[in-house]
Amino acid sequence: MDATDASEKFEANWPAVFAVSFAMFALVSAELLPISLLSPVAADLDVAVGAAGQAVTLTAITAAISSPLFVLGVGRFDRRPLVLGLAVILAVSGLLSAVASSLWALLVARFLLGVALGGTWAMVTALALRLVPPQKVARAMSIILTGVSAASVVAPPVGAYLGEVWNWRGTFIVAAVLGVIAVAGLLATLPKLPPAAAPGLASFRITLTRGAVLAGLATVFLVLSGHYAGFTYIRPFFEQVAALEINAISFALLLFGAGGVIGSMIGGIWASRSAALTASGSAVGLMLAAGSLMFVDPTPVAASAATAIWGFAFGVFSVAIATWNAEAASDHAEAVGALQATSFQVAIALGAGLGGIAVSAYGPVGVLVFTCAAALLGAILILAAGFRMRQQRTA
């Protein structure tokens, strides 16, 4: 019996998949919490709001750098204690953030969170491949990424609310508690996960020689940079161009988050049939949603509908492109997972930066033009890659 036959016969470990999903929910929630707490954090630590915002930036940068370094450093260690250790670091980071007496102490805590985030992101694809049979990987990725989408919806508003009730330190205690729950869930469900082979530079080199992987990473970079460029500055568009009231803006953003959660759930079903077609179609949907804001009279109803579709398309895309990358390098899952995580984080940072430049030069409408162009290029790229792969399989 070869490895493929064996992999198709083992039972799917869905409890462990849901535990990994909750761990990702806890990690991303902790990453996004400071967004709604910057003002009270800055006031309490006696620093500028911009300085406090570096707590978010540092986490993203650390995650981007630590993903490939983590994969290179773990060698032949069993993945179960590694994942558990990263969840413990999440809990410790939350606790250290809650008791931080200076900006530097907070940044140390957020650095630790970046390590946990980057390391876990690097192993998500490999975990999905190890916990369920190949034909169910898309569904597993959908469940895991639904945790990420849910955190994106829940963390900012809940963080703001808890900050008012318990102050910002109490909010980080909640992040630490989420970390403890994640540890408990992983401890109860994860089996032993010895590596099939020790990942190294050769694994990254082989992965980066595959055209399908390069196409997937380039698509991630294009679509995500366009998405984060536009979405980071969607509120100025609503305020300055659409002249929406704050209640209408909040409702539209809530619908974006809800659409993202639904898209993550459905994306796994579609991606299991064709990851390339699903990724391409969702990128086109994102482009059309962003474009409609420029060309359709942005009434509250129209703005809410377009933003909900945008969120749905982004949720579908996240699952589809992760499934594509998993299929393109299933034998080097940790390497492709680390590269994907780094691409995600760099695209987020670059997208927000380019969005700022576009807004300054051309206003809020200009940034949506960039969003549409980047999404369209990504859609064409991954569709072409999918067509080439299908030709190779039928040749």
Percent of the chain with pLDDT over 70: 94
**CB < 8 Å & 24+ apart, contacts of 37-42:** 37/159, 37/160, 37/163, 37/168, 37/171, 40/163, 40/167, 40/168, 41/106, 41/168
Which pLDDT value is given to residue 395? 63
Higher pLDDT, residue 240 or 119 = 119
What is the average per-residue pLDDT within 292-313?
87
Percent of the chain with pLDDT over 90: 38
Architecture of domain 201-394: Up-down Bundle (1.20)
Alpha carbon distance 162, 236 (integer Å) = 26
Going from N- to C-terminal start, the domains of the chain cover: 3-189, 201-394
In this predicted model, what pLDDT tens digit does every residue of 152-191 receive, in sequence order? 777 777 777 888 888 889 999 999 999 999 999 999 999 9
Q: Is residue 1 classed as helix, strand or coil in its secondary structure?
A: coil
CB 181, CB 21: distance < 8 Å: no
Alpha carbon distance 311, 262 (integer Å) = 9
Which pLDDT value is given to residue 8? 47
Residue 2 pLDDT grade (very low, low, confident, very high; cuts 50, 70, 90): very low
In this predicted model, what pLDDT tens digit does every residue of 258-298 receive, in sequence order? 888 899 889 888 988 899 999 999 999 999 999 998 887 76
**Does domain 3-189 bear CATH number 3.20.20.150?**
no
Neighbours of 247 (CB within 10 A): 9
Which pLDDT value is given to residue 245? 81
- Where does 232-367 show beta strands of DSSP type E? none
Kindly report the average pLDDT of the chain as a whole number.
Answer: 85
Residue given tokens 């916990």 in the structure block = 131
Does pLDDT of 198 surpass 60? no
pTM of the model: 0.78
